[in-house]
Amino acid sequence: MFGPWLEPWAAARSTWQSLELLGFDVAYLGDHLTHPSLQGRWIGDPYTMLAAAAQVTTELELGTLVASAAVRAPAPLARTAATLQDLSSGRFVLGVGAGVPGDEEVLLGETRTNKERFDRFVETVESLESLWSGRPLRTRAVTPLPLVPGQARPHLMISAHGPRGYDLVARCGDGWSSYGGARAASLSDEDFWDEVTRQSAAVTRACESAARDPNELRRSLLVGYGPVNPLGSEQTYLECLERAEQAGFNEVVVYWPWPDSTPGDRFWADHEVIQSAIARARDR
């Protein structure tokens, strides 16, 4: 489940508890300073909200979809992720992506080139690996422990939609995340499924080239940004799960309904449909 991040905590607390009671396995929050779809809306800081959510849930995995390498420096991000891993008793998933130009402009007053943005992304992922392994990057003057003693590092899920990204996933990722890519919103239903199937096959080839077992990779697909409406009915949700599985994914993420949405809106869904769809999916 993607969300909730548009509610103040007074409302979001019960929503997080409901996600766990409904039977969702994992819930993610985005990491944006700005976004065209969020104009005039409140968006909570994802890391603070996930820390709070960890205190009112017990089994639900909690994560970022995705932490933005465009605006997050590796060392603070590694420490934040390790802290959330501790607060959640090992339930944290650090999804990481390259980020978007809009957030760069908010933070820096300018935007990087695509190459600069991707190079920073690669450096961030490699730095996280190094830091969690206890290898400082630039100084040995201060060397605190990278993780709570005896605790596993957070699950590292890398968002990628092209060959260089797939190679990074194969080399460094515990998991891979896709939403279909920048073209997803303009694709037809069938073209969307064809696209993510091709992407999944490319990730498999990248793993094989890196002498890594492709089956050990967690593959997460966010559905709903593009044309597919997975929560339109119980049947469409089950069909979505089936198509994702056929495409090679073992995790499907859907959008939690936006709090002020109404029937017909892009991010609206009937809560009764969500409840019954999850129950039927659990019985598959």
How confident is the model over 65-80, as pLDDT tens digits? 999 999 999 999 999 9
**Identity of the amino acid at 12:** A
What pLDDT does residue 142 have?
A: 53
Contact 126, 58 (CB under 8 A): no
Fold of the domain spanning 9-282: TIM Barrel (3.20.20)
| pLDDT band at residue 226 under the 50/70/90 scheme | confident
What pLDDT does residue 138 have?
A: 64
What pLDDT does residue 140 have?
A: 62
pLDDT higher than 60, residue 11? yes
How confident is the model over 50-109, as pLDDT tens digits? 999 999 999 999 999 999 999 999 999 999 999 999 999 999 999 999 999 999 999 999
For the CA atoms of 247, 191, 175, 51, the dihedral, rounded to the nearest 10 degrees, stands at -120
pTM: 0.96
| pLDDT band at residue 136 under the 50/70/90 scheme | low
Contact 162, 203 (CB under 8 A): no
| pLDDT band at residue 30 under the 50/70/90 scheme | very high
Using a 10 angstrom Cβ sphere, with 0-12 exposed, 13-18 middle and 19 or more buried, the burial of residue 77 is buried
Contact 62, 53 (CB under 8 A): yes
Helices marked H in 109-217:
114-132, 163-172, 189-209
Q: If you compute the radius of gyration of the chain from its CA atoms, what whole number of angstroms results? A: 18
Q: Among all chains, which residue has been given the structure tokens 């392994």?
A: 133
Q: What is the mean pLDDT of residues 32-60?
A: 94
| pLDDT band at residue 137 under the 50/70/90 scheme | low
- Judged by DSSP in three states, 159 sits in strand
What pLDDT does residue 3 have?
A: 85
How confident is the model over 147-188, as pLDDT tens digits? 999 999 999 999 999 999 999 999 999 999 999 999 999 999
Q: Residue 260 to residues 128, 256, 266, 280: CA-CA distances in angstroms?
A: 37, 12, 12, 27
What pLDDT does residue 135 have?
A: 77
The least confident of 158-162, 204-208, 264-268 is: 264-268
Q: What percent of the chain has pLDDT over 70?
A: 98
